[in-house]
A and B are shown apart, each in its own frame.
Chain A
Amino acid sequence: MQRHALAVVAALVAALAVVSLSAAAPEQMRSAHPHRIISLSPTMTEDLFALGAGKQVIAVDDQSNYPRRAPRTSLSGFTPNVEAIANYHPDLVLISYNPSGFASKLRDLGIKVVNIPAATNLKQAYAEILQLGRLTGHTTGANAVVHSMKTRLAAIVRSVPASRRHLRVYHELDPTYYTATSKTFIGSIYNLFGFKDIANAAGTTTNQYPQLSAEYIVQQNPQIIVLADTKCCQQTEATVAARAGWSNIAAVKHGRVVGIDDDVASRWGPRIVQFARAVARIARKG
């Protein structure tokens, strides 16, 4: 404690006695596109690697678990540590969530931050991929990804016969019956097929992820159930069928219950095609 105080006093004396050195930071080599990108959003990480900008990414947040080769660190996109992010000396930081306005602190340090909030429909998801392509200098790659997603989604939707459109769907986020309405991103995928989301009556303008009751779900009698709580809460077809009173639900009776990887069901990147394919397969069943 006393040593620190002495050090400060000594530095003061030195500063007053010596002419200061010019301390300009060395000019950094500027290339046209950012080469030290940090992504604090798992979806953006997937987008970046899909459109070919993976080599320009130096660090991704702790939740970015796909693709495996992404340089995962313990940086958090939810409780960001500005100094830790700055320590990487990035030339671009990509975020989809700005808690406590930390982005302005990064900008104060001269770091470019781009905030692309979570997409609520497919159009925004495509726009995000194209924007990332422009930012990283991979417009061709981005166009290719978007084109591929559009074509494959169209083919998947066509594969579901007309008799299986307009099914009633229940999308489960967790075993306490939290769900998503058709105004959410995942809901917009169901809209492609023409499915009717049973949660719509429960959604409000401020809350598109309402909690339903078991009674309401049984009464609505969904014809297809999609489980997005397979990883977090170990829900499967079997556990759903075992729920009291659920064995009479049409989806359970006809075996149209599908479990999806939580991550695939909660991100708005290229893997949404995987999600749509699994939903289509179950819709065609039986």
Chain B
Amino acid sequence: METTPRVEARGVGLRAGLVTAVFLVAAIAVGLAVGSVHIGLDSIFRSVFSHVPFLHVHRAAAFDQAVVWQLRAPRVALAALVGGMLAVAGASYQGVFRNPLCDPYLLGVAGGAGLGATLAIVYAAAATAGSSWTVPLAAFAGAIGAVVVTYALGRSVGAAHMTGALVLAGVTMATFTAAVQTFVQQQHTQQLQNVYAWLLGGFSTATWHDVAICAPYVAASALVLVLHRRVLDVLSLGDDEATSLGIDVGRARLAIVVAATLGTAAAVSVSGLIAFVGIIVPHTIRLLVSTSYRAVIPLSLVAGAGFLVLTDVVARTVLSPAELPIGVVTAFLGAPFFAIVLRTSRTAR
């Protein structure tokens, strides 16, 4: 399903960059300001900036400070990290596989992470405690393991048909991991609630601990992907053209897939499985700004962060005090979006 490339030699424009940055800042402000407890802007400002050294901003009332800094701020920070990572990983996969419907879970990350998390929740007794390492670590290991197997399967087909083979191998992996996970779940029905809570994803119990686990991987991965944005533009011309232009296609693809996978695995291990972010955000950037990856990659990173922060706000206010799983909100937005992209990418040919 390769579309005729419409690559424009344009990077991130000043206007686009500024608008996206303001969008992110505004999203963060909204994320910090909205919640069940009514807290004034002044208190919010003081709760956040009292942690910045040398500014000498005094703390707000203890309860307000705790709500903003312990409850909302980690949530907003984590949503920003995960949203940015999923969006940029999705854009990268779309570039590497030249398929506009690729999402960061393509190579089995979702299935592997789900299986890892289920095994940890079911077999490690203290796994569901607040700041335990077990579940995120297991989810991360599961995701990486699944992708390694998928890649090995896909490579065994040979270089010529590798992109197609990788996608099919990813589907195989997803089915297999889902089957094993369902079996384990059924054997331990007492933990069903915990497993589903993890699978549906969300930031309701985000802690600074989770942010600390996830941030280094996301930072490293995002850096690699942003540095490869020109390479992605060249890759979109096709393997032969890219090789003739001096790109080592195999190595470039491997580097991008590894970076995107590591970052996605880290994001998924702390947030569960949140779908559609990797499709909605890159495509919106393509529609609004430019189809060149020099613009799409960095802008997806920033816009994805803002998007997931706002989605999280919706998830916790729409049915307040009940919380909608964030995957439901993104699916509501994503499913029709997906259909539109499918239609436009067909009619574009």
Residues in A lying within 8 Å of B, measured CB to CB: 1-2, 4-5, 7-8, 11-12, 15-16, 20-21, 23-25, 73-76, 78-87, 89, 97-105, 108-110, 204, 206-209
Contacts and interface: CB of A to CB of B under 8 A. Distances in A.
A85 B122 CA distance: 28
B189 A100 contact: no
B205 A102 contact: yes
B71 A109 contact: yes
B interface majority secondary structure: helix
Nearest to B132: A101
Interface in B23-44: 23, 25-26, 29-30, 35-37, 41-42
Given A86-B37, A104-B130, A5 B26 contact: yes
Nearest to A78: B193
Question: Lowest 5 A-B CB distances belong to which pairs?
Answer: A101-B130, A84-B321, A20-B58, A104-B130, A100-B205
B22 A5 contact: yes
Contacts of B187: 204, 206-207
A104 B187 CA distance: 29
A21 B46 CA distance: 12
Contacts of B284: none
Size bracket of the B interface? 35 or more
Given A78-B193, A110-B63, A83 B71 contact: yes
A83 B37 contact: yes
Contact of A100 (B29, B36, B122, B197): B197
B302 to A, nearest CB: 15
Contacts of A24: 61-62
B341 interface: no
Given A99-B197, A101-B130, A83 B190 contact: no
A201 to B, nearest CB: 16
B207 interface: yes
B197 A4 contact: no
B128 A105 contact: no
Interface string B204-229: 11010000000000000000000000
B37 A99 contact: no
Nearest to A2: B22
Nearest to A20: B58
A109 B46 CA distance: 17
A285 to B, nearest CB: 33
A109 B130 contact: no
Contacts of A97: 193
B70 A105 contact: yes
A76 B29 CA distance: 27
15 contacts: A1-B23, A5-B25, A12-B45, A15-B45, A25-B61, A74-B322, A79-B323, A81-B36, A83-B72, A86-B37, A102-B204, A105-B207, A109-B70, A109-B71, A110-B63
A82 B205 contact: yes
